[in-house]
Amino acid sequence: MVETIITFAIIILIIALLIFLVYKSIKVVKQSEVYIIERLGKFYKVADAGLTIIIPFIDHVRSIVSLKQQTLDIPPQEVITKDNVTITIDTVVFYRIIDPAKAVYEIHSLRKGIEYLSLTTIRDIVGKMLLDETFSSRDEINVLLKASLDDSTFQWGCKIDRVEIKDITPPSDIRDAMEKEMNAERNKRALILEAEGKKQSAITLAEGKKAASILEAEAEKEAIIRKAIGEAEAIRKVAQAKAKEIEEVYKAMMKSKPDDRLVQLKSLEALKEVANGESNKVFIPFDATSALGSIGAINEVVNKDTKVNKKAD
């Protein structure tokens, strides 16, 4: 009976030992992770994601390394600029492991190594810049810092993806002075913009007045020209009518063969019309009528000469 119990206990012990050995020999590696496996204290292999079999008590999982991109928040660091101003810079580093074996065996603490390198590199880069340049050259600082860290951490199996400066904090007195300068510059720009606006408004008004004056002068000139043309046309038509009237009167008189008395009578009628004119008053002596009457005598002599010449022919 005792032997049976002992045998049963041994069997149970062996089964338990086998289960323990199986548990120790089978490893399941998660996605985006790798296992660093050592055999008898020496690096053996890198186990990728999936099922991995190891030999218990001979093989040992040294470290579990994540292949995901990781972030390292660098503590705020005081840095002196080229113009001897102490500023505080807060930085974050994004990195990932590309060679797990080097990340485990080439450095004791990868995160600490990246942190210390970041601090010294920031001091070197910012120390060569003026205070104003540190605020306007964040992208340049990020690029220089990433390039320097990437070169230094490559031997540790690490890849620096990017570096970002979260904040740059100057001393309180420098910050107050910068705020005053910024306010003064803002007020200056506002005054300049206001002056430019007034100048442009004055120029626009002056150009508008000039254009209006030119248009008004052109309109007045056009009106005067049109009025003058109308008056000239009216005078021309009146003159044509008068000339036509005189011509018709003259033709009628020539057809009627006027004698001296008729000529004198027409002369008196003409003098009457002249005397009755509203524009001009002309005073002619009465003796001038005899001169006007002589016109008939001259006409008669001319007519007689003409007849004599016709008979001679």
Q: And the tokens for 176?
A: 């107050």
Cβ neighbours of residue 248 under 8 Å, at least 6 residues apart? Answer: none
Whether residue 92 has pLDDT greater than 90: yes
Dihedral (CA of 293, 296, 302, 304) sign: negative
pLDDT in the model for residue 70 = 92
Q: Which of 93-107, 132-146, 179-193 has the highest mean pLDDT?
A: 93-107
User: How confident is the model at residue 242, as a pLDDT?
Assistant: 73
In angstroms, the CA 46 to CA 60 distance is 12
The rounded percent of the chain whose pLDDT value lies above 70 is 78
**Alpha helices (H) in 109-171, listed in sequence order:** 110-126, 131-136, 138-153
* Helix or strand holding residue 91 (H, E): strand 86-97
Q: What is the mean pLDDT of the chain?
A: 79
Closest listed residue to residue 158, CA positions, set 72, 63, 31, 62: 72
Determine the average pLDDT of the residues in 95-124. Answer: 91
Is the per-residue pLDDT at 187 higher than 90? no
- Would you call 246 helix, strand, or coil by DSSP? helix
d(CA 246, CA 239): 10
Question: Per mean pLDDT, which of 86-100, 169-183, 251-265 is the most reliable?
Answer: 86-100
Cβ-contact 208, 175 below 8 angstroms = no
In this prediction, residue 257 carries a pLDDT of 59
List all residues 6 or more positions away from 53 whose beta carbon is below 8 Å from its beta carbon: 25, 26, 27
Contact 110, 160 (CB under 8 A): no
Rounded to whole angstroms, what are the CA distances from 289 to 175, 259, 271, 299? Answer: 116, 15, 10, 16
Helix (H, G, I), strand (E, B) or coil at 137: coil
Altogether, the residues listed in the chain come to a count of 313
% of the chain surpassing 90 pLDDT = 15
Cite the beta strand spans of 170-229 per DSSP E. none
Torsion on CA atoms 200, 203, 204, 209, rounded to nearest 10: 160
pLDDT band of residue 252 (cuts 50, 70, 90) is: low
- For range 45-70, the mean pLDDT: 88
Question: If DSSP states are collapsed to H, E and C, what string results for 27-82?
Answer: EEECCCEEEEEEECCEEEEEECCEEEECCCCCEEEEEEEECCCEEEEEEEEEEECC
DSSP element (H, E) containing 176: helix 172-256
Query: What confidence tier does 98 reach under pLDDT thresholds 50, 70, 90?
Result: very high
Contact 62, 34 (CB under 8 A): no
Q: How many CA atoms lie within 13 A of 63 on its CB side?
A: 14
Round to whole Å and give the CA distance between 132 and 182: 12
Give the per-residue pLDDT at 256: 62
